[in-house]
């Protein structure tokens, strides 16, 4: 049987990248009932539209996974690692100019500024505010470059990228989370004219793709009863540690409401409001970007509330831009051993990779279609981790369902509390078992 985009959406494997919309005459991205953007599958798609889908269960052999795609696009990359893919160098630090106005160390903004300034590209396709909301947009103003800064934890889509790119003179750089980059690479593979047209991709490491419900929840939790706009997800507290950031948004009366994220509890390690497809992406570090950006969630950097970037250069061009920045004194960076980089994303590696086989089994058991995944990551998880994973999957699904039903912070928290406590208990047991395994000299994860 040959699968289609319709099957991807119906099986809840759509991440909402929107690239398939360019493979349809009249489809567009629409909001589904759980707060995610998905293509309108009541419209018709080209017969091979699924080829650009990052979760295609039947990809063409030559570019069947991130390894093969990287092999095709990253010939000039000197190193290859089992966990982080092709790379040139790993760095930690910040941009002197953009750190204060960025989510992390400001390397994202520094890179896009350089791409425009050095005329490597003529346009950016990046996430930016428009009428109080955030969407992917075309942008080319070096003077206003900080308007592109900051992390936006809500569904956005590349829908317009391939619908409009042909009318944009010159070259384009795009930012995106791992499955979005994969979709762009697939499109470039099947339409080689886009290889030259898009010479640079900025990967955003992503611990979980959240529903719009996540932001609705945070806005209510911060005290906004009705509509909100211009939300800020990463308000730094320079006097505190890096993870001690706040969420804030404007209400209808233009009052700004702000809340420390720690009041919302553990939003990233629990599966809350996550997209199902996000659980099936085994690319943790945005392996298909020229550069891949993340946060330095390791000491001593974590102690610094000003924020520190941790990132990988993969192409020669990306590394040149970074080296120039260091030499000109614009970037304050040091090289980081690969083990420290992996350590900073350990939770994501464990979740995405060790838990993957179990989740694929779950799909097969429930007669759902199964995306194609790299065999080398399909490992058997220890039983104590399987238990944690199962609870996370329940929380993921129920958090979306409960918010859809109530849209009320108090009712939501009342109903999700026991599940979160259950996850906590299971996680404690998981750590205990791992400790025992370690003492016995057995393999741990
Ligand atoms: C959903 C999500 C989950 C993330 N999870 C992790 C994680 O688990 N671990 C980790 O280390 N880092 C994670 N990050 C990345 C991190 O939060 C920072 O975005 C990254 O380190 C860049 O910081 P910066 O200061 O260099 O970027 P800035 O200088 O602030 O620039 C940010 C850049 O990111 C782009 N951008 C913002 N939001 C989006 C979006 N939704 N989709 C595509 N592009 C976007 C902007 O267009 C801009 O170019 C996540 C980011 C997102 C959006």
Contact yes or no for 321/93 (Cβ under 8 A): no
What are the backbone angles phi and psi of residue 257, rounded to the nearest 5°? Answer: -110, 135
CA distance linking residue 365 with residue 206, whole number of Å: 28
Query: What are the CA-CA distances from residue 215 to residues 59, 73, 152, 155, 245 (Å)?
Result: 34, 35, 10, 10, 15
CA distance linking residue 215 with residue 331, whole number of Å: 32
**β-pairing verdict for 89-95 and 309-313:** antiparallel
Confidence bin at 328 (pLDDT 50/70/90)? very high
- In this prediction, residue 356 carries a pLDDT of 96
Taking residues 412-439, report their average pLDDT.
96
Could you tell me what percent of the chain has a pLDDT over 70?
Answer: 100
Q: Is the CB of 126 under 6 A from ligand 1?
A: yes
Please say if the pLDDT value at position 436 is more than 90. Answer: yes
What are the backbone angles phi and psi of residue 13, rounded to the nearest 5°? Answer: -105, 10
- In this prediction, residue 1 carries a pLDDT of 86
Which atom of ligand 1 is closest in space to residue 344's alpha carbon?
A: 11
CA of 232 to the centre of ligand 1 (A): 13
Q: Is the CB of 222 under 6 A from ligand 1?
A: no
Domain boundaries, the chain: 5-210+277-347, 212-264, 381-439
CA of 149 to the centre of ligand 1 (A): 9
Ligand 1: which of 204, 218, 294, 344 to mutate, most ligand atoms within 8 Å of CB?
204
CA distance linking residue 136 with residue 21, whole number of Å: 15
Please say if the pLDDT value at position 205 is more than 90. Answer: yes
Closest protein CA for atom 45 of ligand 1: 127
Q: Is the CB of 102 under 6 A from ligand 1?
A: yes
Confidence bin at 389 (pLDDT 50/70/90)? very high
Q: Is the CB of 288 under 6 A from ligand 1?
A: no
pTM: 0.97
Taking residues 27-44, report their average pLDDT.
98
Confidence bin at 78 (pLDDT 50/70/90)? very high
**Angle value at C-alpha 262, between 260 and 264, nearest 5 degrees:** 95
Taking residues 237-251, report their average pLDDT.
97
Ligand 1: which of 18, 92, 94, 108 to mutate, most ligand atoms within 8 Å of CB?
108
Q: Is the CB of 356 under 6 A from ligand 1?
A: no
- In this prediction, residue 76 carries a pLDDT of 85
Q: Is the CB of 22 under 6 A from ligand 1?
A: no
Which atom of ligand 1 is closest in space to residue 126's alpha carbon?
A: 47
Confidence bin at 336 (pLDDT 50/70/90)? very high
Please say if the pLDDT value at position 44 is more than 90. Answer: yes
Q: Is the CB of 149 under 6 A from ligand 1?
A: yes
CA distance linking residue 178 with residue 175, whole number of Å: 10
CA of 266 to the centre of ligand 1 (A): 18
Confidence bin at 262 (pLDDT 50/70/90)? very high
Ligand 1: which of 151, 212, 318, 341 to mutate, most ligand atoms within 8 Å of CB?
151
């Amino acid at each position: 049987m040959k699968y289609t985009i319709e099957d991807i959406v119906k099986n809840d494997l759509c991440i909402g990248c929107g690239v398939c919309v360019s493979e349809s005459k009249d489809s567009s991205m629409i909001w589904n009932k759980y707060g995610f953007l998905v293509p309108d599958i009541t419209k018709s798609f080209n017969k091979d539209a699924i080829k650009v889908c990052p979760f295609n269960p039947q990809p063409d052999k030559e570019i069947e996974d991130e390894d093969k795609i990287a092999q095709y696009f990253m010939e000039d990359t000197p190193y290859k690692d089992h966990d982080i893919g092709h790379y040139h160098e790993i760095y930690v630090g910040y941009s002197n100019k953009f750190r204060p106005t960025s989510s992390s160390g400001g390397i994202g903004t520094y890179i896009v500024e350089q791409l425009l300034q050095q005329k490597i590209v003529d346009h950016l396709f990046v996430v930016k505010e428009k009428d109080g909301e955030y969407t992917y947009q075309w942008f080319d103003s070096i003077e206003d470059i900080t308007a592109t800064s900051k992390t936006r934890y809500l569904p956005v889509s590349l829908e317009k990228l391939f619908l409009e790119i042909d009318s944009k003179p010159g070259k384009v750089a795009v930012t995106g989370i791992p499955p979005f980059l994969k979709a762009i690479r697939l499109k470039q593979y099947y339409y080689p004219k886009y290889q030259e047209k898009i010479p640079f991709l900025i990967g955003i490491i992503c611990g979980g793709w959240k529903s719009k419900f996540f932001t609705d929840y945070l806005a209510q939790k911060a005290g906004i009863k009705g509509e909100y706009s211009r939300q800020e997800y990463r308000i730094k507290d320079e006097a505190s540690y890096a993870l001690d950031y706040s969420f804030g948004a404007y209400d209808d009366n233009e009052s700004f409401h702000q809340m420390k994220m720690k009041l919302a509890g553990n939003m990233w390690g629990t599966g809350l409001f996550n997209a199902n497809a996000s659980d099936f992406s085994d690319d943790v570090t945005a392996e298909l970007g020229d550069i891949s950006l993340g946060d330095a969630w390791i000491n001593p950097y974590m102690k610094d509330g000003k924020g520190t970037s941790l990132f990988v250069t993969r192409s020669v061009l990306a590394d040149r831009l970074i080296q120039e920045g260091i030499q000109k004194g614009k970037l304050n960076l040091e090289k980081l051993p690969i083990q420290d980089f992996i350590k900073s994303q350990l939770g994501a590696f464990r979740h995405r990779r060790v838990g993957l086989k179990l989740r694929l089994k779950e799909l097969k058991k429930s007669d759902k279609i199964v995306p194609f995944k790299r065999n080398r990551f399909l490992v058997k998880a220890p039983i104590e981790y399987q238990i944690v994973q199962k609870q996370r999957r329940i929380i993921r699904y129920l958090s979306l369902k409960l918010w859809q039903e109530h849209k009320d912070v108090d009712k939501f928290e009342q109903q999700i509390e026991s599940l979160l406590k259950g996850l906590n208990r299971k996680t404690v047991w998981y750590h205990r078992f791992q400790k025992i395994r370690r003492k016995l000299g057995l393999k741990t994860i």
